[in-house]
Each structure stands twice: as structure tokens, then as C-alpha cells.
Chain A
Amino acid sequence: MNEALVIEVVRKSVTVDCAVEEAFRIFTADATSWWPVEGHSLRGSEVREIVFEPQVGGEIYELVDSGERGHWATVLEWEPPNRLVLAWEVTPEVVGTEVEVRFQAEDDGTRVDLEHRGWENAVAAAVEKRDSYDTGWGHVLGKYVQRV
């Protein structure tokens, strides 16, 4: 009854057939090679590159042909090749959520565990940013609704 709002954390695991260092490198520096930009980026097929600035406070952004950047996330923790935590900010409605990715050596490769958490913060953070995102929201929610 008196519990605060809790929304289940998104948890995913995948085992890849390569060394930890390589898995970490491909996930971050080489994200352009695998990220499904079509439908999962700000500018879709115009996206030329996904840039991971490799340090705490670094930015993750998409770069389009015209040279414009689209901000996705900020690096909160950076421990190559084992772990990283990102403040996920690609659209206003996910601000307040965090993505943690861990890379662990296993016999036959690397186990990658991903956690996307903090959904309770998403509503509240969006409300706090109401003024700056006043116009952005309608656009983003429109896109979101089209996609769902």
C-alpha cells in the first residue's frame, strides 16, 4: 500500500563468441556496425556514425551526413573492458533511466549482461524538464505512438 512506484528493470543477456576486450570494443567504439539505426535512432537512415566518447562524462551521439549530432547518452561509469553505465537520454521520456552493460569472460566467449533501469524516474524527470521540452514532447510522443 505504501510502496513507491516500481517498474520492472529490463534485463538481457547474450553470449558472444569472442574475447571480452573485443566484445567491449565492438559494443562501444564499433557500435555503428551493429546498432539498428533504422527506427532506433533520432534520424534513422541518415545516421552515418554512432560515437562513443570513451570516458566518464563522455557523450554518446549519432552523427548524420550533414554533420549534425543527436545526443543519446552520457557515460556515468567507464571500466573497459568489463563494465559501463550510461545515462540514457535519447528522448525526453526516457530521461532518468540508466543502462548498465557488463562483459564477463566465459569458457566459450563473453557473456554480456544488460540492465535498463530507473523507469520510475522517467515520468518524474520528464515533468521536471517540462519547460525545456514543452514542444519536444508532442513531437516525440507522436513518433513513439506511431511506432508502437
Chain B
Amino acid sequence: MKTNRHPLDALGDPTRRQVFELLRPGPRSVGELAAGLPVSRPAVSQHLRVLEDVGLVTHHRNGTRNVYELDSGGVTVLRDWVDGFWNEALARFKAAAEKKGESR
């Protein structure tokens, strides 16, 4: 996250949330996003900047177009943490299961 602003605060604005939802199926250019929304292209760009500031979306240039997509960074960190957690949990499960087995 690039600022202290909360990611979900950025989604409090209904249009901004719509922009976010339009990106769920996959990357879109600013033009494509604007075509699906009742606001101007500069307004869409402004919303995208806010979403990018809080780390919810990311963009790259494709020729003259800016293409935006959801930023999986935060969730990936969480996923990796859960990955390590299951290693620990299953090691303990194995120890418990085998201890019970011995005492039968």
C-alpha cells in the first residue's frame, strides 16, 4: 500500500466501486472503462488514480493506452502467509495423529 489511506475507503464512492467491479473480469483500458460508465474519461482516470494510490489497482502502458488491472499484491501477501501457516498446522496435526495412533 502506497499511502495510509484505507483501501476500502477508496471504494466508498459508488462510481469508484463500479470502476473496481469492471476490472474484476480482467484488465481494461481507460477508454473501455469509460464506455461502460456514465462519467467522463478524465473522471474515470481520476478514480483510477485513487484506486492505484491505495494499492487496489495497477496499470501499465500499452502503446498510447493505459491499461488497468486489479492489484493482487495485498492478497498475495496474505496467501503466502496462509501457505506458511498450513505447513505449521499440518505438521502439528501429523504429530497429534501419530501420537494417538501409538497409544491405541
Q: Is the Cβ of B100 less than 8 Å from the Cβ of A124?
A: no
Give B57-94 as 1s and 0s: 1 = Cβ < 8 Å from A's Cβ atoms. 00000000001011010111111011101111111111
**Which bracket fits the contact residues of A?**
35 or more
Q: Is the Cβ of B96 less than 8 Å from the Cβ of A4?
A: no
**SS of B interface (majority):** helix
Q: Is the Cβ of B75 less than 8 Å from the Cβ of A122?
A: yes
Pick the interface stretch among A11-19, A51-59, A63-71, A74-82: A11-19
Distance between B43 CB and nearest chain A CB, rounded to angstroms: 20
Given contacts A5-B24, A36-B92, A148-B77, A138 and B6 within 8 Å (CB-CB): yes
Q: Tell me the residues in window 37-64 of chain B with beta carbons closer than 8 Å to chain A beta carbons.
A: 56
Q: Is the Cβ of B90 less than 8 Å from the Cβ of A14?
A: yes
A8–B81 CA distance with the chains assembled, in angstroms: 13
Q: Is the Cβ of B93 less than 8 Å from the Cβ of A14?
A: yes
**SS of A interface (majority):** mixed
Q: Is the Cβ of B25 less than 8 Å from the Cβ of A36?
A: no
A33 in contact (CB, < 8 A): yes
Contact of B24 among A22, A124, A137, A148 (CB under 8 A): A124
Using CB atoms, name the residue of chain B closest to A114: B86
B35 in contact (CB, < 8 A): no
B11 in contact (CB, < 8 A): yes
Distance between A14 CB and nearest chain B CB, rounded to angstroms: 5
**Which bracket fits the contact residues of B?**
35 or more
Contact of B93 among A27, A40, A116, A138 (CB under 8 A): A27
Q: Is the Cβ of A30 less than 8 Å from the Cβ of B96?
A: yes
**Which residues of the partner chain B approach A14 to less than 8 Å between Cβ atoms?**
90-91, 93-94
Contact of A17 among B27, B56, B101 (CB under 8 A): B101
**Which residues of the partner chain B approach A3 to less than 8 Å between Cβ atoms?**
26-27
**Which residues of the partner chain B approach A1 to less than 8 Å between Cβ atoms?**
26-27, 67
Q: Is the Cβ of A127 less than 8 Å from the Cβ of B26?
A: no
A114–B82 CA distance with the chains assembled, in angstroms: 12
Chain B positions near chain A (C-beta within 8 angstroms): 6, 8, 11-12, 17, 20, 24-27, 56, 67, 69-70, 72, 74-79, 81-83, 85-98, 100-101
14 inter-chain pairs at a CB distance below 8 angstroms, sorted by A residue, are A2-B26, A3-B26, A8-B79, A12-B90, A16-B98, A17-B97, A18-B97, A27-B97, A93-B75, A112-B90, A124-B24, A127-B20, A148-B77, A148-B81
